[in-house]
Structure 1
Amino acid sequence: MDNKEREDLIEGRNAVIEALKSDSTIEQILVSSGKNEGSINVVLAKAKEKGIPVKYVDRKKLDKMSGGGVHQGVIAISTPYHYCDVEDILLSAREKNEDPFVLILDEIEDPHNLGSIIRTAELCGVHGIIIPKRRNVGVTPTVYKTSAGAVKYVKIAKVSNINLAIDKLKKEGIWVYGAEIDGENYCFNQNMTGALALVIGSEGKGISKLTKQKCDVLVKIPMVGKVNSLNASVAAGVVMYEILKQRIVKRG
């Protein structure tokens, strides 16, 4: 499982069902030959309803195609994920008449972490996610599966330089927060109710030095255990839910 996974494959029953429910362009569905039971019948029914061709193949073929090997007997071949522009993310917030809530990921390389972050972001009302083109996993089958299909409902912009993207957001009046262990305030003590972008660093190095300097405020998460760091997706989830909570309280 690495950045070389194909971005045009959707693996696993639930992920394929979610893709079929959305407006994804699916070209073909591959199903393992033999007796198919349970939710695979939902896949087959929805594919028939949408007129999407289904091809039965040997399970070994699916194993070979699969990035993570957990395809559950079904792989959908879709058009590659369509990344958006940063402007599209801001437009989405304007159309909903909401303060922008943007997530910026600084070199997240684990596809499971990215998938989990996308899933939480969708639930927390994030308008879009910005990732760098280099040293960051893209939307691969593992990401799609881990996100439980949420990737189809969250705008993702892939940029050449996240620091330039941050400058662009600041010009739009967006305050930039970084989640860091040496943050100035605990996230629950920081007012995060307006237009904002939240930066989450990589699993090992955290936020890069220059990007950290670009942040207006660094916030931290309270920890009392002997291990002084959190998994990137867990840290992102904690801060995103705090932002969601503050927004709900503000709305009353």
Structure 2
Amino acid sequence: MEKSQNIFGIRAIIEAIESDASINKIYLQKGLRGNLYYELDKLIKSNKIATSTVPVEKLDRLSKNNNHQGAVAQISPIKFYDLEVLLETINKKEKTPLLLILDQLSDVRNFGAIIRTAECTGVDAIIIQKNGSAPVNAETIKTSAGAAFKIPICKVDHIKDALFLLQAYDIKTVAATEKTDTSVYDFNYNQPLAIIMGSEAKGINPSVLKMVDYKAKLPLLGEIESLNVSVACGVFLYEAIRQRK
């Protein structure tokens, strides 16, 4: 299995960004200064790359005690797709589009499990946000059973950007949320559709909820108020498959 790769050194990371490498996250030592660092900082901001300020001990571990110069980047083992280009391809297929949007899901194991289910249910693409989302790393790929290499994953600056683009392609959106009376089983999946799942802690962002076309919820008959997001996602996807069959 291909694993995430850590690269270290400010110049090496600058070159990786300029080469359009898919970077999950950059770890920086507090207090970095100098022209080369400012060049890196400018690239990080312009490309909206997630960063984290960490103790030097963590950088030592990530770089295996090599000369990291206060910066280590985690490179994704997969290449991400451009959403608009992918939608053009999806639009030419005979099947009714089915996409999945993950609004800042944070747990890599949940992410991997969802990727696996999405691939098994014929989802055309998964859309995630650049910042605040779980990375596609070695653990994600392991949990996905390799499905991360088989299904297109797109990164967007903000989930709302994806919603605007989907509207332009006449693809409707349905949010998985308890803030509705419509059951997951009463919703019509026989249309071009993107299902939106929220984060483990906060659910779907309120600004995103305001933009969706539909909302649907899972019936909960016990005392626990929510399901694991990967389980909930599986219910939505297989109900879509059931209706479309």
Normalising by structure 1, what TM-score?
A: 0.66
Q: Is residue 86 of structure 2 the alignment partner of residue 108 of structure 1?
A: no
- Work out whether residues 100 and 123 of structure 2, in 8 Å CA contact, stay in contact via their aligned partners in 1: yes
Q: Is residue 190 of structure 2 the alignment partner of residue 193 of structure 1?
A: yes
Q: Could you tell me which residue of structure 1 aligns to residue 181 of structure 2?
A: 184
Q: Is residue 226 of structure 2 the alignment partner of residue 229 of structure 1?
A: yes
Q: Over the residues paired in the alignment, what is the CA RMSD in angstroms?
A: 1.9
Distance between the aligned counterparts of 1:85 and 1:169, measured in 2?
A: 13
Q: Unaligned 5+ residue runs, structure 2?
A: 7-60, 63-74
Distance between the aligned counterparts of 2:87 and 2:96, measured in 1?
A: 9
| Cα offsets for 1:124-152 (capped at 9, x unmatched) | 11000000011101211010000000111
Match of 1:212 among 194, 209, 214: 209
Distance between the aligned counterparts of 1:185 and 1:222, measured in 2?
A: 10
Distance between the aligned counterparts of 1:7 and 1:158, measured in 2?
A: 17
Distance between the aligned counterparts of 2:203 and 2:169, measured in 1?
A: 26
Normalising by structure 2, what TM-score?
A: 0.68
- How many pairs are equivalent? 177
Inter-CA distance 184–149: structure 2 relative to 1 (3 Å threshold):
same
Distance between the aligned counterparts of 1:181 and 1:7, measured in 2?
A: 36
Q: Could you tell me which residue of structure 1 aligns to residue 200 of structure 2?
A: 203
- Give 1:205 deviation, angstroms: 0.6
Residue type at the aligned position of 1:96: K
Q: Could you tell me which residue of structure 1 aligns to residue 149 of structure 2?
A: 152
Distance between the aligned counterparts of 2:95 and 2:84, measured in 1?
A: 15
Distance between the aligned counterparts of 2:86 and 2:119, measured in 1?
A: 13
Q: Unaligned 5+ residue runs, structure 1?
A: 1-5, 10-63, 66-77
Distance between the aligned counterparts of 2:205 and 2:228, measured in 1?
A: 16
- Give 1:79 deviation, angstroms: 7.7
- Give 1:200 deviation, angstroms: 0.2
Q: Could you tell me which residue of structure 2 aligns to residue 163 of structure 1?
A: 160
Distance between the aligned counterparts of 1:162 and 1:87, measured in 2?
A: 14
SS in structure 2 of the partner of residue 214 of structure 1: coil
The 5 A counterparts of 1:1-252 are 7-8=4-5, 80-248=77-245
- Work out whether residues 184 and 220 of structure 1, in 8 Å CA contact, stay in contact via their aligned partners in 2: yes
Residue type at the aligned position of 1:198: I
Q: Could you tell me which residue of structure 1 aligns to residue 69 of structure 2?
A: none
- Give 1:88 deviation, angstroms: 3.8
Q: Percent identity?
A: 37
- Give 1:92 deviation, angstroms: 4.1
